[in-house]
């Protein structure tokens, strides 16, 4: 009976089928492991230490997912045998239970689908739709039968704590959540770096003569006359409410201007590296963002507890996931407004300290402008925002995959469209607005990441060493070719001079003189080559 209900066991499974499945999953696992190792080696060769650590953290997260799945697979029989009172098992359900006539309704749906398939046999699209409805109906009936069997095993008045089918669906939810979180983090980082790519041209512009002339250290200007002052010191900044309102709308258009980048670059260099005005600030920001990516791609234990809390309050009629979809969007908008407000406050502080500016406006780095005096708190909010947004989309994909569009989760089409729209909007705002702002503005804190500068200097020294080695090799090749060509030309010229001024001789003497000339040429060439070898040996490697 167990074999008939649950399918054939390994005792009655063909060996070729068992071996095929084993070979497939073994090959897939080895391929994934080899791909990750190739990626790690590539990052190490290019000295991307932060990204290497991020990949290692990703491997640990995948290992944790595998361990959780293994525990669920091993203990699902024991968990499914736990029984609880039926009254407790009927409260806080994500979907409302149907009446006792649902079995008859299912049979009517199946009969309706089969009849319509026969009637509309000419339509391939209609047949595909009916096949999908029939598949979902049969799947639901099988799940209900499993639940009924589990309830029967518990006895009267009791139900199973969790059925095997529910545990299997939980497996898939954890897998989808992990994949969505990783994809969201990678996509956010990729889009953010694409937006920040134009900062490279701004960094190169700081090394031009036009920039040096425009930012002459002996030039006096009023604070409002500077480009940075005209952007931030306006009539809208006179009151706190107008300042916050201006910062809220500014994040949607030209959130990071060139003058903001150059002014903050100047303030950062003057505070940490006053003797290195040619410091590559854009590459420093890029390396700093790579360091932060290690945090963004990880899933902390607190996030798992938040996940469990979301599942706890997912009760039918509460519309928790609808309200939850607004949280990431609100957090992203508040973060963008706060970061723009920090830039505006730094501009106003320049006006308060000095109404006359000498050279480039100098912003003062201050942790007090950030919440709780911690710039890293912004990264924490971004991290949890991405996780909640990934969870929102993962639940949608999981419900659609497991239960189809006819599930109780998708009863309201307006709610589903709203959730998808909010998730996509949050992703775009976080990638193109909040992340570039975070990468630039958080450098205005007092923290200085010296390790990033050390890695950058190591790359510069490595590149300089390679250039010197290539230049020395080219010089040696040119000198050797010049010496060999000079010795050959000199021998040919001397022989032509000898022949021109030599008197006529008998035939025998001519043959003997030609032999002596040939011997002289050989001696000349050997002498020149030996002298060249001694010079190279004296010069050293």
203 and 283 share one domain: yes
Q: What is the pLDDT of residues 395-415, one digit of tens each?
A: 888 888 888 877 788 888 888
157 and 189 share one domain: no
151 and 178 share one domain: no
Contact present, 53 and 294 (Cβ < 8 Å): yes
Q: How far is CA 434 from CA 6, 264, 368, 541, in A?
A: 51, 17, 20, 54
% pLDDT > 90, the chain: 2
The single residue listed with the structure tokens 């002498």 is 527
Say if 519 falls within a structural domain: no
% pLDDT > 70, the chain: 72
Residue 365 has phi, psi (to 5 degrees) of -75, 130
The single residue listed with the structure tokens 């919440």 is 371
177 and 301 share one domain: yes
User: For the chain, how many residues are written?
Assistant: 541
Considering 144, 161, 178, which residue would you say is the last residue of a domain? Answer: 161
Say if 105 falls within a structural domain: yes
Contact present, 311 and 399 (Cβ < 8 Å): no
Say if 526 falls within a structural domain: no
Say if 427 falls within a structural domain: yes
Helix intervals (H) in 81-163: 86-89, 102-119, 124-154
Say if 208 falls within a structural domain: yes
| Mean pLDDT of the region 178-189 | 82
Say if 539 falls within a structural domain: no
Say if 410 falls within a structural domain: yes
CA atoms of 270 and 286, how far apart (whole Å): 20
Considering 161, 195, 230, which residue would you say is the last residue of a domain? Answer: 161
Q: What is the pLDDT of residues 239-287, one digit of tens each?
A: 888 888 888 988 888 888 888 888 888 888 888 887 777 888 888 888 8
CA torsion sign, 190 to 203 to 228 to 379? Answer: positive
pLDDT at res. 330? 92
Using 50, 70 and 90 to split pLDDT, how confident is the model at 332? very high
- 28, burial (CB in 10 Å: exposed 0-12, middle 13-18, buried 19+): exposed
Say if 207 falls within a structural domain: yes
pLDDT at res. 537? 45
pLDDT at res. 523? 45
CA end-to-end span of the chain: 83
93 and 21 share one domain: no
Q: What is the pLDDT of residues 14-61, one digit of tens each?
A: 888 888 888 898 888 888 888 888 888 887 777 777 677 777 777 777
The winner for highest mean pLDDT among 149-158, 179-188, 412-421 is 412-421
Domain that holds residue 39: 1-45
Region class of 47: left (phi > 0), else alpha (psi between -120 and 50), else beta: left
155 and 240 share one domain: no
Smallest CA-to-CA distance from 67 within 304, 389, 302, 295 is with 304
- 150, burial (CB in 10 Å: exposed 0-12, middle 13-18, buried 19+): buried
Considering 448, 473, 494, which residue would you say is the last residue of a domain? Answer: 448
318 and 242 share one domain: yes
Would you state the structure tokens that stand for residue 160, as one six-digit string? 């199973």
Q: How far is CA 386 from CA 173, 263, 339, 371, 396, in A?
A: 17, 30, 18, 19, 16
Q: What is the pLDDT of residues 449-473, one digit of tens each?
A: 665 555 555 555 556 556 666 777 7
Q: Which residue has the higher pLDDT, 409 or 337?
A: 337
Count up the domains in the chain and report the number: 3
382 and 234 share one domain: yes
194 and 140 share one domain: no
Contact present, 96 and 316 (Cβ < 8 Å): yes
Smallest CA-to-CA distance from 351 within 367, 342, 340, 363 is with 363
295 and 227 share one domain: yes
């Amino acid at each position: 009976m167990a074999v008939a209900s649950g399918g054939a066991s390994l005792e009655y499974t063909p060996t070729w089928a068992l071996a095929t499945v084993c070979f497939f999953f073994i090959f897939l696992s080895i391929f994934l492991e080899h791909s990750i190792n190739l990626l790690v080696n590539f990052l190490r060769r290019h000295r991307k230490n932060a990204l290497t650590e991020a990949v290692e953290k990703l491997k640990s997260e995948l290992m944790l997912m595998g361990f959780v799945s293994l525990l669920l697979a091993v203990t699902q029989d024991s968990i499914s045998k736990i029984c609880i009172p039926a009254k407790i098992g009927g409260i806080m359900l994500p979907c409302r239970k149907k009446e006792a006539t649902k079995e008859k309704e299912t049979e009517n749906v199946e009969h309706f689908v089969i009849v319509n398939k026969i009637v509309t046999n000419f339509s391939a699209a209609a047949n595909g739709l009916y096949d999908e409805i029939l598949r979902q109906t049969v799947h639901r009936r099988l799940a209900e039968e499993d639940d009924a069997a589990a309830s029967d095993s518990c006895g009267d008045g009791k139900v199973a704590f969790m059925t095997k089918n529910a545990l299997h669906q939980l497996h898939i939810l954890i897998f989808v959540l992990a994949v969505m979180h990783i994809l969201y983090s990678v996509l956010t980082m990729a889009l953010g770096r694409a937006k920040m790519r134009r900062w490279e041209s701004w960094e190169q512009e700081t090394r031009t003569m036009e920039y040096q002339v425009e930012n002459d250290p002996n030039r006096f200007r009023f604070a409002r006359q500077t480009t940075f002052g005209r952007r931030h010191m306006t009539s809208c900044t006179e009151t706190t409410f107008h300042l916050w309102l201006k910062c809220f709308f500014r994040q949607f258009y030209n959130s990071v201007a060139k003058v903001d980048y150059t002014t903050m670059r100047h303030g950062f260099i003057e505070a940490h590296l006053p003797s290195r005005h040619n410091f590559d600030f854009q590459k420093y920001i890029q390396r700093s963002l790579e360091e932060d990516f290690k945090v963004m791609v990880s899933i902390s234990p607190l996030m798992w507890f938040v996940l469990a809390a979301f599942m706890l309050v997912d009760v039918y009629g509460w519309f928790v996931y609808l309200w939850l979809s607004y949280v990431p969007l609100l957090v992203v908008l508040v973060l963008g407004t706060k970061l723009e407000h920090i830039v505006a406050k730094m501009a106003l502080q320049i006006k308060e300290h000095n109404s006359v500016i000498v050279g480039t406006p100098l912003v003062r780095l201050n942790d007090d402008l950030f919440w709780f005096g911690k710039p890293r708190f912004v990264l924490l909010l971004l991290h949890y925002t991405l996780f909640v947004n990934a969870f929102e989309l993962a639940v949608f994909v999981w419900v659609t995959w497991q239960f189809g569009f006819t599930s109780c989760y998708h009863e309201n089409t307006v709610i589903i469209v709203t959730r998808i729209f909010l998730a996509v909007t949050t992703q775009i705002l976080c990638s193109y607005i909040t992340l570039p702002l975070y990468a630039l503005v958080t450098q205005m804190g007092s923290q200085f990441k010296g390790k990033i500068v050390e890695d950058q200097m190591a790359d510069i020294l490595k590149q300089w060493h390679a250039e010197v080695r290539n230049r020395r090799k080219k010089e040696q090749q040119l000198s050797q070719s010049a010496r060999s060509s000079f010795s050959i030309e000199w021998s040919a010229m001397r022989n032509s001079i000898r022949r021109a001024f030599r008197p006529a001789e008998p035939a025998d003497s001519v043959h003997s003189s030609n032999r002596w000339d040939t011997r002289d040429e050989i001696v000349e060439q050997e002498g020149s080559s030996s002298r060249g070898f001694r010079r190279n040996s004296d010069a050293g490697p």
